[in-house]
Amino acid sequence: MRTTFRYRLRILLGLLGVIALLIVVRLYVVQIIYGSDYSIRADHQYTSSASSLYDRGTIYFTRKDGTRISAATLETGFLVAINTVTLRNPQTAYDAINAITPINHSVFFTIAAKRNDPYEEVAHHLSINQGEALSVKHIPGVMVIRERWRYYPGGTLAAHAIGFVAYNDGNTLGGRYGLERYYNSTLTRTGNTYRNFFAQIFSNIGDVFINSQSDREGNIVTTIEPEVESRLMTDLARVQKRYRSKETGGIIMNPATGAIIALGSVPTFNLNNFESATTSTFANPLVEYVYEYGSIMKPLTMASALDAGLVTPQTTYDDTGCIHIDGDRICNWDYKARGVIPMGQIIVQSLNVGASWLAERLGQERFRTYFTKLFGQKTGVDLPNETNALLSNLQSTYQVDYDTAAFGQGIAETPMQMIRALGALANYGVMVQPHLVSEIQYQSGKIKKLNWSKKVPVFSATAVRETTKMMTELTDVELDHGRAKIPTMAVAVKTGTAQLVKPTGGYYTNKFFHSFVGFFPSYSPRFIILLYTDNPHGAEYSAETLASSFMDLTHFLINYYHIPPDRNLTPSL
């Protein structure tokens, strides 16, 4: 009998111990994990479903040392609402509110004139000090209520990449552009944190240790480095202002991993005040718009011919300055003939006739195969609204369409597609998948490292190395007449100038699209940079508009990341 009693007592004590443990764990979740939310809720004087405190995951930038900085977070403050039933003196209430935060006079009095309306919001996003200053006045009919809203500490920084939160057609807050939209399901908080305290302790016992919802909602960590992003945007804005371009943009990427370190375009907008910007400004040109890039396409043409075994660096051709193909005339940028010259001069001197000669050596089918592999699919970057390249000319039977594509006219790609394709030259012939988010931090505490390992081999390592040597010679000899050369660092570059297409067909002779690409160190690249500016005024060639910005960014990155000298590592070919 006594043995049975002890056995039952042990079972009872065991059950009580398990229950106690569950309560302790749940108290930890409620008080520690959600403690700050409950604190805010305690101050939330007006309770209704319409005024529930806003919640959303954080988006982080990542510094070079791994430190994380908020790119999109939540700001806590106050809103002001009025109760027309108890509002005694509308003018006094208006004067008090307006003295702290400006509000529209006619809108306020229209609301105040409503009868028996217990709750109408009249002002939002008051700071803590503003809210407290108004609250102590104790104005009848005026309610000062805690609220939270989306806040972007960087303002305009990486605006097109981050995106913003706004109401959709269904009157629901959600990500509308950029990462806010692409990762909306992860950033959105759908759970109800604010249940009765004791109900929260004892509810969902099965989720104490494993919560399926908490494994779907979390914060996202980007690969964007804020200092590099700021420097890129400064350079883009400088080009945009000086040349009065329609648009100027750029991307900095790690060519080995596809991690985007910085990206942006100008004009841009302030994420905290996006209502004042035009809707057209919100679109991200880096993934949504396509352009004809001009001569930065030539290294890809060269690498294709080298990879196919059709030419070597020592192969020569007779450059006549101009040629006629299918009734059209193709000429070098200066219309001058170079005579019999080796392959490298096609890149160094940016010769259209040379690129056309390579396209003819490749033949239409082989050319189409290489360029379809480079541009035939979207990059898969984690940004919304990515569009396809325009490659219809590669289905043509006319050789002229392949000749012009060889030097970047007649086909159009997004900047993201271009840096991915050109990145193959900086990554031993392999294209990687560009991306902005490296990991997701779930509310449960789990961390999910995102897999961006998709790779597409395009060129042989030998073809890439030979093309890179030509691009490095361009920097050392031709760019700014050799003054751009860095004695301790090999840098591979290519300039591009394309004629803009007329709306009625054909090309302008006085309007251009400038592009510039480069990577360094040339033979073991840490970064690849793509810059462009659309319809600049006062300069015909990209070497004038973009070269100084590229070199400025290059020197900055070398110093900022302490990239060691590499000239003694340059291979001989």
pLDDT in tens, 498-544: 999 999 889 999 999 999 999 999 999 999 999 999 999 999 999 99
Q: Worst-scoring range by mean pLDDT, 212-216, 302-306, 440-444?
A: 212-216
158-204, pLDDT tens digit by residue?
A: 999 999 999 876 678 899 999 999 999 999 987 544 444 444 444 44
pLDDT at 545 over 90: yes
Which pLDDT score is estimated for 412?
Answer: 98
Whether the Cβ atoms of residue 306 and residue 461 lie closer than 8 Å to each other: no
Please report the DSSP string for 151-210 in residue order.
E-TTTTTTHHHH--EEE-TTS-EEE-SHHHHHTHHHHB--S---S-HHHHHHS-GGGTT-
**pLDDT tens-digit map of 83-136:** 999 999 999 999 999 999 999 999 999 999 998 899 999 999 999 999 999 999
Which of 14-23, 197-206, 229-238, 407-416 is predicted least confidently?
197-206
Question: Would you tell me how many other CB atoms lie within 10 Å of the CB of residue 537?
Answer: 11
In a domain, 518, yes or no: yes
User: What confidence tier does 41 reach under pLDDT thresholds 50, 70, 90?
Assistant: very low
Q: Decide if 44 is inside a domain.
A: no
What is the CB neighbour count within 10 angstroms for residue 295? Answer: 28
Global pTM value: 0.86
- Mean pLDDT of the 318-339 span: 96
Q: Is residue 125 part of a domain?
A: no
- Cis geometry, peptide bond prior to residue 255 (ω within 30 degrees of 0): no
The pLDDT of 435-451, averaged and rounded, is: 94
HSE-up of residue 3 (Cα within 13 Å, Cβ side):
0
d(CA 172, CA 146): 20
- Calculate the average pLDDT of the chain: 89
Residue 220 within any structural domain of the chain: no
**Rounded-to-integer distance, Cα 393 and Cα 532, Å:** 23
- Is 149 part of any domain? no
- Number of structural domains in the chain: 1
| Residue 231 forms part of a structural domain | yes
What pLDDT is attached to residue 535?
97
Share of the chain above pLDDT 70, in %: 86
Domain enclosing residue 541, as ranges: 226-569
The verdict on residue 442 lying in a domain is yes
- Which CA distances in Å does 551 have to 239, 541, 554? 13, 16, 5
- Assess if residue 73 is contained within a domain: no
What letter does residue 482 receive in the DSSP assignment? G
Domain of 327, CATH number, reads 3.40.710.10
